[in-house]
Amino acid sequence: MLRQPQKQIANREKNISRIKEAAEYVFAEHGYSGASFSLIAKQAKLPKSNIIYYFTNKETLYRAVVEDIFDIWRSAADSIKKDNDPSTAIAEYIDTKLEMARNRPFGSKVWANEVIQGAPIVQDYMEDELHRWTNDRMVVIQHWIDSGKLRATSARHLLYLIWAGTQHYADFQHQIETLNDNHPLTDEQWQETKYFLKDIILRGICVE
């Protein structure tokens, strides 16, 4: 049995993902300015210097976190494809996005925070990646509309409504829990949420 000669590499990967996870949480809870290296270090249970060793500075760490988020977020829209059935595809998209809101709320919060503040760090990302990605999806939706599979509405605003409606449950999680008498949503309540959003949105866009 060969000894693995890469103890370093394995350790490096472990540490990096551990730091990113901690950073995602701290950036979400405190915003960019409020997130200090010492808070992130405490969360990751690693010395502050070690974090700087891996990521050089705060902005680099932040960008790494945001890029991870964006990749996941992007892959959630895999179902929005020309040849898929619109209702099924959009229902699937809503389901997936709500599951992400439930399971990975911190990423969503970091993104929201960044955009609210005018994307000072990831403006280039928005102009390139997000812009292209959004246009691609809009083309698909417009195709569905043009071929009579969807009611004639705005593809752009439909996307925005799906984003807003789903991400709300991540970004405003705290508000929702407060209004739910300080309890997290139960499985049943998440089911209800999924059902509600699909019900309203699909009813709004399907040809009658």
Contacts with a copy of itself by CB under 8 A lie at: 28-34, 109, 112-113, 115-119, 123, 126-127, 130-131, 134, 153-154, 156-158, 160-161, 163-165, 167-169, 171-172, 174-176, 178-179, 182, 192-193, 196-197, 199-201, 203-205
**Spatial contact of 110 and 65, defined as CB atoms under 8 Å apart:** yes
Q: Min. distance of Cβ 12 from a copy of itself in angstroms?
A: 31
Helices 48-55, 7-34: inter-axial angle, 10-degree rounding: 100
- The one among 1, 2, 7, 120 contacting DNA by CB under 7 A: 7
- Confirm if 169 and 101 have CB atoms less than 8 A apart: yes
Minimum separation from the CB atom of position 158 to DNA (A): 39
12 binds, among DNA, a copy of itself, none (CB under 5 to 8 A by kind): DNA
Which residue stretch of 46-54, 77-85, 102-110, 198-206 sits at the interface with DNA (rule: CB under 7 A)? 46-54
- Residue 15 touches DNA, criterion: CB under 7 A: yes
Q: Which two tokens stand for residue 154?
A: 């705005």
Asked if residues 79 and 99 have their Cβ atoms less than 8 Å apart, the reply is no
120 CB-near residues (< 8 Å, 6+ apart): 32, 114
Q: Helix, strand or coil for residue 120?
A: coil
